[in-house]
Amino acid sequence: MAKESKKAAAKNAPRPNVPFPDKFTAQTIVKYISEKNDLPKAVANRIIEDVFDVINAGVLNGARVPVGKFGKMFIKVKPATKERIGRNPLTGQEITIAAKKATKVPKFTFSKSYKQVALTANVKDKSSPEGN
């Protein structure tokens, strides 16, 4: 019973109110996780690395691995293509396009809920001088 009450108390303990970082880099994310969960930075870094290692192992084993509320990561096989005739769009000259072997490509599919949230995102316009 004592262990259960300690776990319940730890679960219900208030977490520090830590603001999100201004820039999202690997170091600032580790710092945020360590402060939010009252952990040393080395432990937070190991936990984050372990999460990515598990995701990587699952994907490389052919599984569709869920990545939180964001979506799923997987490997897709791009089928082989045959040799074919194409045209140079500038000159109109016929050219032979070489065949390609089947390849494996990493893919990520976003969840419907995340796509809905993304519609409300604040996005900086990189083409405008103020966006840089």
pLDDT in tens, 112-130: 999 999 999 888 877 755 5
pLDDT in tens, 31-66: 999 999 999 999 999 999 999 999 999 999 999 999
Assessment of whether the complete model's pTM goes beyond 0.75? no
Tokens 């569709």 correspond to 64
Domains, the chain, ordered by start: 11-120 (4.10.520.10)
pLDDT in tens, 1-39: 555 665 655 566 666 788 888 899 999 999 999 999 999
Confidence of residue 131 (pLDDT cuts 50, 70, 90): very low
Q: What is the mean pLDDT of the chain?
A: 88
Per DSSP, the residues of 85-131 read EEE-TTT--EEEEPPB--EEEEEEEE-HHHHHHHTT-----TTSGGG
* Predicted pLDDT of residue 132: 47
pLDDT in tens, 60-115: 999 999 999 999 999 999 999 999 999 999 999 999 999 999 999 999 999 999 99
23 token code pair? 């820039």
